[in-house]
């Protein structure tokens, strides 16, 4: 019995420094991931914020977050780029995704996965953000969030 969400940002978007990747489409949303029905996930279309709520009867909730996308730069010179999964606005260790675009509009695929622990009665807001100064072109962004316990 899967309890999951899959969001997509298919079209190219420019993600500025400290801004988040946006997700315009809910591809899959299980019933129990719908916040309106007492579920554990709140997300508005065209937003980059995902609020995970621990509505377990007791104990911690654990969520798995998987992200992948194609990234590039509009700059004509080689440009280092980096995205990371964040929790409450802070980068989660081990989720930095680096790519050096050799020239404008040359894309590379990046991905990261992590587990998020949410204490009983608490919530955490998850995002994927640009952590360097260079504007990053992002397309085919894909995020899967699964409640695993």
pLDDT tens by residue, 87-130: 999 999 999 999 999 999 999 999 999 999 999 999 999 999 99
16-47, pLDDT tens digit by residue?
Answer: 999 999 999 988 877 666 666 667 888 899 99
CA distances from 94 to 9, 13, 86, 107, 140 (A): 23, 24, 11, 22, 22
pLDDT of 147 reads 92
Percent of the chain with pLDDT over 70: 93
DSSP state, 106? -
pTM of the full predicted structure? 0.93
Q: What's the confidence (pLDDT) of residue 28? A: 85
Across the chain, what does the average pLDDT equal?
92
Provide the pLDDT for residue 99: 97
pLDDT of residue 55: 83
- What is the predicted pLDDT for the residue at 56? 81
- Is 99 in contact with 32 (CB distance < 8 Å)? no
Output the pLDDT for position 31.
65
Closest-CA residue to 67 (of 102, 20, 105): 20
């Amino acid at each position: 019995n899967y309890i999951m969400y899959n969001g997509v940002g298919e079209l190219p978007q420019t993600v500025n420094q400290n801004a988040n990747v946006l997700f315009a489409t809910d591809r899959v949303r299980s019933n129990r991931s719908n916040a309106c029905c007492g579920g554990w996930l709140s997300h508005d279309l065209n937003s980059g914020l995902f609020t995970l709520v621990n509505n377990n009867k007791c104990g911690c909730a654990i969520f798995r977050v998987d992200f992948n996308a194609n990234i590039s730069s509009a700059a004509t010179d080689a440009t280092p780029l980096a995205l990371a999964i964040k929790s409450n606005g802070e980068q989660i260790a081990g989720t930095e995704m680096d790519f050096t675009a050799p020239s404008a509009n040359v894309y590379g695929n990046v991905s990261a996965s992590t587990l998020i622990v949410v204490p009983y009665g608490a919530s955490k807001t998850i995002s994927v953000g640009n952590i360097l100064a260079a504007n990053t072109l992002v397309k085919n962004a894909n995020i899967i969030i699964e409640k695993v316990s």
